[in-house]
Amino acid sequence: MSGRGGSRAAVSEGALVLADGSVFEGELIGAERQVATGEVVFNTVMSGYQEVITDPSYAGQIITFTSPHIGNYGVNETDMESRGTFCRGVVVRELARRHSNFRADSDLGSMLEQNGVPGISGIDTRRLTRLLRETGAMPGAFGSIGEQELLTAAIAEPGTDGIDLVREVTVPQSYTVDCLDPDNKIRIVAIDFGMKRNIAHNLARFGAVEVVPATTTASDILARDPAGVFLSNGPGDPEMAPYGVETISALLGNVPIFGICLGHQLLGQAIGAGTVKLPFGHHGGNHPVKNLLTDRVEITSQNHNFAVDPDSLRGKATMTHVNLNDGVCEGFQVTGEQAFSVQHHPEANPGPHDSNYLFDQFAEMLAGTGGR
C-alpha cells in the first residue's frame, strides 16, 4: 500500500502455524519474509494499533489484534512510540484497503513494509485468541513456506523466557527531553528498559528528563543529581535483566523512584520479591484495576507477560493496586522508602488515561526533594 487510497497489487498466500501444530491460513502483508517467528500473543485494543506495533515491549512477540478491522485511520509520524519497531510480526483478521483520517500520513500496510515488520491477514483471530486464552501464549511461525517447515520453525522459536530482550531495545546513548516549563530546574533520570516516547512527554511536565540506557549504573545516575528516577516499561523476562535490579537496589533510599511495567517487576526483584509468568499475559486497553488505597476502579492500558508475585511482597511492600480480572498485583509501595510502581501503563497511548494521576504522585515526591 501507499498513499491515501493504496491497495496491494498482488496477494501472497501464507499460513500461521503454532508450536502445538495449529494451522491458520491467510494472506501475507507487510514486509516480505519467507518465515517470521515469535511468541504469539493477543491484544484487545479497539484502536491504537500504531502505538502497539511501535511499543518496544513487544520485542520477541507476534501481535494478534482481536479487533477485526485494522488500519482504517492510517498512520502518522506523531503516533510512533519508539524509534522503530521491535515486534516480530502482526496478525489481523482484515487489513483496511483504504484509510481515512485527517492526521494520516500513510497507511498501515506501508508502515509495516517500511519498518520491516511482516504480517498476515485473513486469519480467524477469534479462534486464534480462544486457543491462546486456553493454552497460553506460545511460539509460532508464519510465512510462505510449507506448513511442516513452519511447524519446525515454531517449535525451534524460544519465545521470551530466559532471553535478555532489554538490550535489544534500550537506547544506545543518553538523550534529554526538555521540561515543558523552561523555568523548572528539576531533573529526572529515566532508565530506558524499552521506554515509550509518550512516557518522557508525561514526565517532562515536571522536569527535564534525561533518558539513559538500561545498563547505566547507580553511581552514574546519582552523579547526575536527579530529583527522582523513573523505571520504564520493557520486554520479556525480568530475570534476564539483573543489571537493572542491581542498579535499582543501589538507588533505593537515595532518590525517589517510580516504575511501570517491567520497571515495576525489576523494582519488586530489587526488594526481594519474586516474579511469575502469566499464561497469556495482559495486552490491551480495557483492563479493570482497583486502587486499594482509594477503592477507585480504573480502566487501564496493559502490555506484559510477567508479574510480581503478591505473596512475596509481605514485609517488603504494600500492594496498592490489583487486577480485577485475575487478581494479579498491579502496584505496590516499598515499605519505608519513597518508591512505588504499577504494572499497567498510566501514560496509555493507546488506552484510557484513568491512571495518569500516578505521574502527579511522582511529582509530589520530586517536590519533596527540593528539586535538587
Which sequence positions are flagged as catalytic?
261, 345, 347
Residue 231, Cβ density class (10 Å: 0-12 exposed, 13-18 middle, ≥19 buried): buried
Q: For residue 168, what are the contacts with CB-CB under 8 A and spacing of at least 6?
A: 59, 86, 235
Q: For residue 204, what are the contacts with CB-CB under 8 A and spacing of at least 6?
A: 177, 178, 179, 180
Residue type for position 318? T
Distance linking the first and last C-alpha atoms of the chain: 51
Contact 200, 211 (CB under 8 A): yes
Q: Residue for cell digits 479493570?
A: 288
Residue 162, Cβ density class (10 Å: 0-12 exposed, 13-18 middle, ≥19 buried): exposed
